[in-house]
Amino acid sequence: MYSSTTQSPVLLLGAAHVVDLAEPLRRELDARTLDGVAIELDPERARALFADQRARGGRDAPLFARLWERVQRRLGAEIGGGVPGAEMKAAARFAEERHLPLFLIDDPIGTTFVELVRTMPFRERVGLLVGAIVALFVPARLVEREIERYADRPDVYTEELRRSSPTLARVLLDDRNEHMAERLASLRGRGYGRLAVVVGDAHVAGLRAALRRRGVPVEAIPFRDLRSSTGSSPRPS
């Protein structure tokens, strides 16, 4: 047991946006005593998700972002009936039922898109756009196979992303990890030590490192373990 809530580790839960993890996520949250729940959303995306609408109204988001949204929706429907954002909704419902504060810790989506478009070289833009178009037609069974490979070695996929699109990795992963870690550290300073944090699995390793640099202990349950979770024991780090 921990002598104070601020000595308790932050619980990171890794989700996959096209795989329904609502049930194992709920099991993990039910097993904890928590001061609050944090999710990888900003207010704009949260409003859109909880109202079952598209964030940014569609047209004002970059083309590749709109394409990836369509890809996620299609794959979510074809892979185990998953709905993009289901894990965020499940975490929000849990917080509401337990009368816990819900914290939205991500950067505003508009700011992220502006930074990405502003700094991304032309070659990376073309590659990202082509990848999004191709993904519209990739059979779900192939995506499931890649998800299995990712679950086994997420670090390999992250490194491949850094090689193929370093700007994308910096803006969508590294910068956001630092900003989310700063917000979580601030929440702990305000007395919310026992936090459960639901983020996309690609953020887990980087966010854990960013928190540990700030002296925050972390317990991480990545997508691979969460998917097969039956009430796992804590894994402090």
Of 137 and 25, the one with more pLDDT: 25
Of 126, 109, 15, the closest CA to residue 63 belongs to: 126
Of 10, 6, 7, 16, the closest CA to residue 226 belongs to: 16
pLDDT band at 229 (very low <50, low <70, confident <90, very high): low
Of 177 and 18, the one with more pLDDT: 177
Mean pLDDT of 29-44: 94
Domain residue ranges of the chain, discontinuous segments joined by +: 5-227
- Taken as a whole, the chain contains a residue count of 237
**What CA–CA distance (Å, rounded) separates 182 from 145?**
35
SS3 231: coil
Roughly what angle, to the nearest 10 degrees, separates helices 86-97 and 22-30? 30
Mean pLDDT of 181-193: 96
Residue 6 has pLDDT above 90, yes or no: no
Of 55, 129, 50, the closest CA to residue 86 belongs to: 50
pLDDT band at 220 (very low <50, low <70, confident <90, very high): very high
Are 222 and 204 within 8 A, CB to CB?
A: yes
Give pLDDT, residue 71: 42
Are 187 and 103 within 8 A, CB to CB?
A: yes
Place of tokens 């932050």: 10
